[in-house]
Structures are given as C-alpha cells and as structure tokens.
Chain A
Amino acid sequence: MQTVNDAEEQLKFDQRIIDEQKIEPTDWMPDAYRQNLIRQMSQHAHSEVIGMQPEGNWITRAPTLRRKAVLLSKVQDEAGHGLYLYSATESLGITRSDLIEALQSGTAKYASIFNYPTLTWADMGAIGWLVDGAAIVNQISLQRTSYGPYARAMVRICKEESFHQRQGYEIMTVLAKGSAEQKQMAQDAMNRNWWPSLMMFGPHDSDSAHSGKSMKWKIKRVSNDQLRQKFIDQTVPQIEELGLDMPDPELKWNEERGSYDSGEINWEEFYQVINGSGPCNYQRIKHHKKAHKEGEWVREAVRAYQEKQNAKKQTNVA
C-alpha cells in the first residue's frame, strides 16, 4: 500500500530521473524499479559468468602461449565483471547466493549467445569480435543508466571489453589471412555466431516485454532495434576488411537510411534458446551446478574455520 510519504518520495524520484540524476543504493526507489534493476543487472552478471564456459572450452587448447595467456586473461576479466556486477546487484538488497540460486533454477536468464557451442579455435575470434562487440554497443549506452552503481560498473567494464574485442578481431584477421583451412574456419565461426550476436540485443522494440518501463526509468537508454542497427553498421565494414563473405545475403547499404538493411532474425530460434532449449542450455547450467556443488565442502570448511576463530577470540576476550 502506498503511503503519503511514498507518494512524495515517488514524485521526488520521478523528478530526479527527469533531471538525469543518478539513483544511489540508499536512495528511496519504487519497488518495481528495484526489481527491474535486479533482473537486468543479475542477468548481466550471470552472462559474464556463464560466458566463461564457452571460452574456457579453448583455454587448454589455445594454439600459442601468447594466445593462451590472452584468452585466459580475457576469461578472467569476465569472471571479474561477474563479480563486480554481483556486488553492484547486492547493493539493491539481494545476496549473491540468492542470485546464483535464481540462475540455477532457471528463473534468472543470461545472454542466449552462450547457449551455442564453441566448435573451433575461430570461435574465440568470432566471440571476441562479435559477441563482445555487441556487448560493448549495449554497455556504452548503459554507462548513462540511471542507477549509479550500474552506470559506474559499465564505465569500468567497457574499457576491458574493447580490449577483448580487439583480441577477437586480431584472431579473425590472422585466420582470414592464413591458410585456406584457417580462412574456412573463420568464415564458419562468423556465420554461426552472426545471428546469435544480433539476437543479443533482444526482441524487436514492439515485442520487448520490459523495454517500456526500463526506458521511462532511464535504466535502458537506447532501444533494442537501434542498438542492433548500430552494431550491424559498425560490423559490416569489418567483415569486408577481413575479406569474408557476408553471413546474411540481405546485408545491403541503404543510402536513404544511411544504414545497412539486413535479413530477419529467426525469432523462433531466439525464443527457443531463451526458453531453455538451445544447443547448450542444459550443459551450461549443469556445469555451473556441478562446480558449485563440488565447491560446497570448501565453502563449508571456510565457514567452520571462521566460526572456530570467532569462538577462540571470544574465549580470549572472556
């Protein structure tokens, strides 16, 4: 039930959003705003964490020591982003273990792209280049999001993501200029990752369940379709530069719009993957649960040790 006080606070909150002021953890905020943020931020954190798996799949098989070091530090960065975003989400009054439980039970989502398999080394290139590239387009817009901790996290994360994208593009460049087999590997990885990368921006604006409110609260600053277009426009010249064939025959420059036209996304596949039936959904969550379960005895040991230490301290004080 909304009290008089809440109504006053709501007015103040609305004004602050209009004035582009950041909302901070201790500020009053409507519950729906809080829940919406928890959903979006935790989804973002989970994406970083689950995203470690498809790339982790190649750490032990990276072809050179330098590539191995770069890939390992990239995946380590993703873990760091996950940690940072979990902490930022915790500022909204939810614990990390609640968030992890929501991930494992399937209530919370993560980026659907990570439900596709990384079949060859070229996927490491394509993911860095396309997936991190798409993530940056989205995250740059989120640097202006209305919730302070989220906005600051985005500033920091964007810096590292651009390094990730460069390393991915560099892998693609080497492969595209390499042997026929390597070039084929690059083409194939791009073809497979292209559509799932476009899907990362979510459904069309007209079909997006959460967009309206998120835009009003300035959690979201730019629409799904606008971000997707921006990504396509910046990526097509890079495909040309690599000398690869276009992954979508309908990609054509539209002089009038000053943008590329493109084919329609397979939305059936999109919803199928989002709803848990993509090629790796089961595997990703199973892996996460297994690692979590196998670590339980360690976490228990840490708790037990802490309790013993605390008990000792109390005895000493007494």
Chain B
Amino acid sequence: MKDNQQNLIRFLIGLGDDSVVLSHRLSEWCSNGPYLEEDIALSNIALDYIGRARMFYQYAAELEGDKRTEDDIAFLRNEREYTNLLIHELPINDFAFTMVRQYFLDVYYCQYLLQLCESTDERIAAIAAKAVKESRYHLKRSKPWIKQLAEGTDESRERVQLALDELENFVGELFLMEEWETQLANDKLVVDRKTLEANWNSEVQSFLAESDMKFPDSKIQIRGGRNGIHTEHLGHMLSEMQYLQRSMPGLEW
C-alpha cells in the first residue's frame, strides 16, 4: 500500500510535469502568433494546462503530507527530477509544428482522460473529468488547423510534413508504460497507456489520410521522460522558468 502511495505521487507529478511543460511552450506564442486570435487561443490552451498542472501537483503535495507546495514541485526540481513525457518539452518551432503536436496530444488526451475518469481514485477521476472537456475543445480547434495547413499551400504542407517527421520520434513514448505505472493500472487507479495506441493510430491516420498525408504505425521509440532523461531543451526551459525562485529562494511572491 505504501508503495502504491509513492507510485501514485510519482504518477501525479509526472502528469503535472507534462502539463506545466506544455503550458510553458504554448505561452511562448503570446504576441508571436500569425493572428491576434491565435495569440488568444494558444494562451487559453496554455492556461488550461497550467490549471491541470496545479491540480495534479496540489494533490501530490497533499499525499506527501504537505511537506512541499505546488510551487516547490514546479520550481525547485531540476532536469533529472522532471518526469514529463518528452513530446511536451519540444520547442515550439513553427506554427505547423505547434499545431501538429497539439493535435496529436489532443487526440491522445481525449482518449486517455476519458478512461482516467474511471479511476478508482475519486480525486483523479474528478481532475480527468474536468480536463477531458478542455481537451475536446482543444481538438475542435487543432483539427481544422491541420487540415488547412495540410491542404493550404505547398509551403504549409511541407511544414506539416516536417512536423510529422520530427514528432515520429516522440509519439511512441506516449504509449510506453513504466513498471510502477503498470502496477497502478492493475489496481485501476490509472490508465494503461499501451491500450490506447491502436485507437490513436487509427484516428490520426484516417484523419491525415483525408489530406493525403501519412503517419506510420511503428514509430521510433525514444523514451526517458518519466525517468528524468530528457532532450537538451528542457534544461533551458527550466532555467528560464525557475530563475526567480532559484535566485531569491524562500520568499513569497
């Protein structure tokens, strides 16, 4: 039971990390979007993810016995202690990359969170229920963007293709389970992500096929995020994000 509690905390922090890292990336679009409307929309999605991160961290902090706060978790851990899945931390690149990643994650979260609503842990189920509604809305936005970019100009199509090529390296990790996570899944506390892959593939592939584009079944599986092995990008993000808390520690803000 004690093991399970530790694993649950680990799980919550991992999901919090996924959210905080992606929200950071999305927020980088603020004042940089192709339309003012997109600045607003991407900020909105970033806000949803900050909200998720806070819910996951707060619950983790409570389970730990309130030894640290949500901000301690976010701002006082280093690269090797962050456990987000790698796809979330990749730089925003161009608008095509940002939207393709978002579309991939929207499809993933719609499926994942829907199942997580069934968690035997009521608090997790409640967070998932709130978040899945957001992701459905996000998907309503990202899908038409992929279509427009894939079928717009030669340039936009090429940019979508480049994004697909790069993301091929990082999608696989979404469906790889850690041993401790599998234990939690066996206890119906969390979702076995492996089981989502086939559905994810068929949804994404049939949608991309409408625009005559492809994404392979068997993907390169770079893994490490949940064990603190990251891309080189995360360190730079954290040094920016944590700068105030690190340079002036122990203060109220």
| Chain A residues within 8 Å of B, Cβ to Cβ | 49, 52-53, 56, 59-69, 72-73, 75-76, 79-80, 82-83, 86, 121, 174, 178-179, 181-182, 287, 291, 294-305, 308
Contact = CB atoms under 8 A, between A and B. Distances in A.
Most buried by A among B47, B51, B53, B147: B47
A72 B30 contact: yes
B53 A65 contact: yes
Given A65-B71, A72-B43, A297 B31 contact: no
Contacts of A182: 248, 251
A244 B240 CA distance: 29
Contact of B30 (A56, A181, A305): A56
Closest 6 CB pairs of A and B: A295-B34, A301-B152, A301-B156, A298-B34, A63-B253, A76-B43
Contacts of B20: 65
Chain A binding surface, main DSSP class: helix
Given A63-B244, A305-B151, A298 B30 contact: no
B253 A67 contact: yes
B240 A291 contact: no
B50 interface: yes
B24 A63 contact: no
B241 A297 contact: no
Contacts of B152: 300-305
Interface residues of B, number: 48
Contacts of A69: 47, 50-51, 54
A287 B32 CA distance: 8
Interface in B135-187: 147-149, 151-153, 155-156, 159
Nearest to B34: A295
Given A67-B253, A174-B253, A302-B152, A79 B44 contact: no
A75 B148 contact: no
B46 interface: yes
B3 interface: no
A297 B159 CA distance: 10
Contacts of B43: 72-73, 75-76, 79
Contact of A63 (B156, B159, B245): B245
A64 to B, nearest CB: 5
A79 B39 CA distance: 7
A64 B71 contact: yes
B75 interface: yes
Contacts of A79: 30-31, 36, 39-40, 43
A302 B148 contact: yes
Contact of B149 (A64, A66, A83, A298): A298
A308 B151 contact: yes
Nearest to B43: A76
A294 B32 CA distance: 9
A60 B27 contact: yes
B159 A72 contact: no
Contacts of B91: none
B95 interface: yes
B60 interface: no
Contacts of A60: 24, 27-28, 240-241
Contacts of B51: 69
